[in-house]
C-alpha cells in the first residue's frame, strides 16, 4: 500500500477503537442521580441512545482532524507544492449529506415519541390526577394542594409531599423573576415564568427523599433555592394530609406537619414554620432547632441570633440587609416582612425567636 492508503487504514482503525472506548466509557459513567419516576426510564434510555450515536461522530471528526494535521501537513521543502485541484465530488457530498440527515431525522422521531410517551395523561378510568400548585419566588419554593387541612384551610407546604404511583400535574408560577422547577430524580424540569403558568406531570414510583432544585439563575440566592420532595406510600401520604392544619401534638418538635393553632406563645412558632400565607415562612430558609427546621438558604438562627436582643432580632427581620451574617450576600432575604407581617405577627415572631435563641 502507498503511504496515503496506510494512513487511511490506520485512521479508520484508530477511529473505530476510539469510538468503542468512548461508547463503553460513556455508558459506564453514572450520569444521573437515583431514578424515582416512571418518566425516568424512557429518558435515561434516550440519553444512552443519543450517546451511542453521537460519540462515534465526535470521535470520527476528531480522529480525521488529528490525522490530517499529523500525516498530511506541509513539511519543510513542500512550500511551493500544491495538491491536485479538486472541483467537488458529487458522490462524496451526497453521502455526507444523506447519512447525517438520516441519523438526525431518526433521532428526532425517536425523541418525539419519548416526549409523547412521558407527557401522556393517565389512562381513562384510572384515579383522578393530582394537581399541585408550585409557587417559585426569590429564593424559596411553596407547594399548594387541592386538599384542605384539619383547620379547613388549603394545605400549603415548603416541602413537596407526593404519594407513590399516582400521576401528578404541576401548575408552576413565579412571583418575581424566572426560576426553573427541577427534580433531578424525576428527570423533569421546566421554567417558572412570571405571568404564565407552566406545567409538567410525573408519576413518582419510588418512596424516598429527593432534591427540588432551581435550575435558572435567579439572583444571589439561586444556589440556595432548594427544598426536598418526599415520596410516600399512599397510606403515609393520606396520614400526612390528615395531619395538616391539626393542632400540634403535645410538645411536638416536628416541623413537617404540625401547623399551630397559634394561640399565645405558639403563634410565633407557627408563623416561623408556616408563614402567614402572604410571606414566606422563615423556616423555609433558616435552620432553627426549636422549630425543627434545617434549611440553609439563610443563616442558622440558633447561631446568628444567639447574642441578639429583641430590637436586633426585629431589625434583622424588617431590614435584613442592615447587618449581614457572614457568608450571606445582600438581597437574599426579602425586605418586605415589615409589610407582609402585621405588627402583632411581627411581635409574636420576635418574642418567639428571642425566647428560643437567647442563652
Ligand atoms: Cu430560583 Cu434560581
Going through the chain in order, the beta strands assigned E by DSSP cover 130-137, 140-148, 154-157, 160-163, 168-174, 179-183, 188-192, 198-202, 208-214, 226-232, 287-288, 293-294
CB contact at 8 A, 169 and 290: no
What per-residue confidence (pLDDT) applies to 263?
Answer: 44
**Ligand 1 neighbour 222 (Cβ under 6 A):** yes
CATH number at residue 318: 1.10.760.10
Residue 242 clears pLDDT 80, i.e. is over it: yes
Say whether pLDDT at 357 is over 60.
yes
Are 195 and 96 contained in the same domain? Answer: no
- Tell whether 78 is covered by a domain: no
In a domain, 80, yes or no: no
Question: Is 137 close to ligand 1, i.e. is its CB under 6 Å away?
Answer: no
- Mean pLDDT for the chain overall: 86
pLDDT band, very low/low/confident/very high, at 3 (cuts 50, 70, 90): low
Cα Rg for the chain, rounded, in angstroms?
29
Cβ–ligand 1 distance for 214 under 6 Å, the answer yes
344 and 286 co-located in one domain: yes
pLDDT value of residue 264: 55
Contacts of 268 (CB under 8 A, 6+ apart): 348, 349, 350, 351, 352, 353, 355
- Ligand 1 centre distance from Cα of residue 109 (Å): 32
pLDDT of the residue at 259: 44
SS3 124: coil
Q: What's the confidence (pLDDT) of residue 176?
A: 92
Domain boundaries, position 51: 3-72+92-118
> Is 334 part of a structural domain of the chain?
yes
Q: Which residue has the higher pLDDT, 124 or 115?
A: 115
Tell the residue nearest (CA) to atom 1 of ligand 1: 179
For residues 227 and 163, state if they share a domain.
Answer: yes
Same domain, 142 and 239: yes
How many angstroms is it from 132 CA to the middle of ligand 1? 19
Q: Strand 168-174 relative to strand 287-288: parallel, antiparallel, unpaired?
A: unpaired
| CATH number of the domain encompassing residue 148 | 2.60.40.420
What pLDDT is recorded for position 251? 45
* Closest approach atom of ligand 1 to CA 136: 1
pTM above 0.85, yes or no: no
Residue 101 in this model has a pLDDT that exceeds 90? yes
Q: How many domains does one find in the chain?
A: 3
Does one domain contain both 26 and 107? yes
Residues 220 and 172 in one domain: yes
Set of cell numbers at residue 3: 503511504
Which atom of ligand 1 lies at the shortest distance from residue 215's CA? 2
Same domain, yes or no: 230 and 330? no
> Taking the alpha carbons of 336, 339, 340, 343 in that order, is the dihedral positive or negative?
positive
pLDDT band at residue 26 under the 50/70/90 scheme: confident
C-alpha cell at 149: 387541612
Chain segment 184-206, per-residue pLDDT in tens: 999 999 999 999 999 999 999 99
Rounded to the nearest angstrom, the distance between the alpha carbon of 84 and the centre of ligand 1 is 58
How many angstroms separate the alpha carbon of residue 142 from the centre of ligand 1? 13
pLDDT, average across residues 128-134: 90
Spacing, Cα 107 to ligand 1 middle (Å): 31
Angle between helices 343-357 and 310-318 (to 10 degrees): 130
Mean pLDDT, rounded, for 109-131: 86
Position in ligand 1 atom list of the atom nearest CA 219: 2
- Quote the ligand 1 centre to 214 CA distance (angstroms): 4
Sequence-distant (≥ 6) Cβ neighbours of residue 259 within 8 angstroms: 149, 151, 244, 245, 246, 248, 270, 273, 274
With a CB cutoff of 8 Å and minimum separation 6, the contacts of 158 are 140, 141, 142, 143, 227, 280, 281, 283, 284, 295
The number of angstroms, rounded, from the C-alpha of 268 to the middle of its chain's C-alpha atoms is 31
Does the pLDDT value for residue 359 go beyond 80?
no
CB of 179 closer than 6 angstroms to any ligand 1 atom: yes
Q: Is the peptide bond before 13 cis (omega within 30 degrees of 0)?
A: no
Give CA separation, 48 vs 44, 205, 208, in Å: 6, 21, 25
Summarised one tens digit per residue, pLDDT across range 40-64 is 999 999 999 999 999 888 988 898 8
Amino acid at each position: 500500500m502507498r503511504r496515503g492508503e496506510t494512513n487511511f487504514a490506520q485512521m479508520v482503525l484508530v477511529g473505530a477503537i476510539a469510538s468503542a472506548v468512548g461508547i463503553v466509557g460513556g455508558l459506564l459513567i453514572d450520569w444521573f442521580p437515583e431514578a424515582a419516576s416512571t418518566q425516568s426510564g424512557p429518558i435515561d434510555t434516550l440519553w444512552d441512545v443519543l450517546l451511542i450515536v453521537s460519540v462515534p461522530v465526535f470521535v470520527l471528526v476528531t480522529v480525521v482532524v488529528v490525522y490530517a494535521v499529523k500525516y498530511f501537513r506541509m513539511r519543510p521543502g513542500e512550500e511551493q507544492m500544491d495538491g491536485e485541484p479538486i472541483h467537488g465530488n458529487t458522490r462524496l457530498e451526497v453521502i455526507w449529506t444523506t447519512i447525517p440527515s438520516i441519523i438526525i431525522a431518526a433521532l428526532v422521531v425517536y425523541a418525539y415519541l419519548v416526549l409523547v410517551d412521558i407527557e401522556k395523561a393517565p389512562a381513562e378510568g384510572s384515579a383522578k390526577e393530582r394537581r399541585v400548585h408550585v409557587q417559585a419566588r426569590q429564593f424559596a419554593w411553596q407547594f399548594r394542594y387541592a386538599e384542605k387541612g384539619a383547620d379547613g384551610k388549603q394545605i400549603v407546604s415548603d416541602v413537596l409531599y407526593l404519594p407513590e404511583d399516582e400521576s401528578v400535574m404541576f401548575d408552576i408560577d413565579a412571583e418575581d423573576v424566572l426560576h426553573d422547577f427541577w427534580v433531578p430524580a424525576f428527570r423533569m424540569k421546566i421554567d417558572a415564568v412570571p405571568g404564565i403558568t407552566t406545567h409538567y406531570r410525573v408519576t413518582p414510583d419510588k418512596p424516598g427523599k429527593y432534591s427540588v432544585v432551581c435550575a435558572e439563575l435567579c439572583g444571589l440566592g439561586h444556589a440556595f433555592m432548594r427544598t426536598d420532595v418526599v415520596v410516600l406510600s399512599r397510606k403515609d401520604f393520606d396520614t400526612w394530609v390528615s395531619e395538616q392544619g391539626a393542632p400540634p401534638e403535645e410538645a411536638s418538635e416536628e416541623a413537617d406537619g404540625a401547623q399551630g393553632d397559634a394561640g399565645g406563645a405558639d403563634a410565633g412558632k407557627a408563623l416561623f414554620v408556616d408563614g402567614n400565607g402572604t410571606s414566606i415562612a422563615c423556616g423555609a430558609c433558616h435552620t432553627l432547632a426549636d422549630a425543627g427546621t434545617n434549611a440553609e438558604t439563610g443563616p442558622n438562627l440558633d447561631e446568628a441570633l444567639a447574642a441578639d436582643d429583641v430590637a436586633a432580632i426585629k431589625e434583622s427581620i424588617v431590614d435584613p440587609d442592615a447587618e449581614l451574617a457572614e457568608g450571606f450576600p445582600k438581597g437574599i432575604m426579602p425586605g418586605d416582612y415589615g409589610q407582609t407581617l402585621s405588627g402583632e405577627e411581627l411581635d409574636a415572631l420576635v418574642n418567639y425567636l428571642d425566647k428560643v435563641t437567647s442563652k
